Amino acid sequence: MKEETLQRIRKFTSDRDWDQFHSPANLAKSIVIEAAELLECFQWDEEQYDLEAVKEELADVLVYSQNLLDKLGLDADEIINAKMAKNDAKYPIEKAKGKNTKYDKL
């Protein structure tokens, strides 16, 4: 995420004094709630959906995710790259390419 966007998210929260409500558990709950709203965009038709609604719900997930990163003092690039390294080991190309099988069934 661009620094300007990060600062906008942080300022929005700070200006409203909402950090007091942003416990890790509350933020995790909020991410799941917003993710469910994102999924609802595709509930009855996976091909014809409202892209504007998808963008809004996805943005909500990303904002709450950034708030959780901040609350826990984590860096998105760092944790994503650590997880991708684990995924590389779990899903080697020669076993996983073109398959949607879970790693323990490859």
CATH code of the domain covering residue 8: 1.10.287.1080
Instruction: Give the model's pLDDT for residue 98.
Output: 94
Q: State which residues form the domain around 50.
A: 1-74
> Do residues 84 and 60 share a domain?
no
Same domain (yes/no): 6, 48: yes
* Same-domain status, 5 and 39: yes
pTM to 2 decimal places: 0.91
pLDDT per residue over 89-98, tens digit each? 999 999 999 9
Would you state the pLDDT for residue 104? 86
Q: What residues of the chain score a pLDDT lower than 70?
A: none
For residues 16 and 43, state if they share a domain.
yes
H/E/C letters for each residue in the chain?
CCHHHHHHHHHHHHHCCCHHHCCHHHHHHHHHHHHHHHHHCCCCCCCCCCHHHHHHHHHHHHHHHHHHHHHHCCCHHHHHHHHHHHHHHHCCHHHHCCCCCCHHHC
Q: Please tell me whether residues 62 and 14 are part of one structural domain.
A: yes
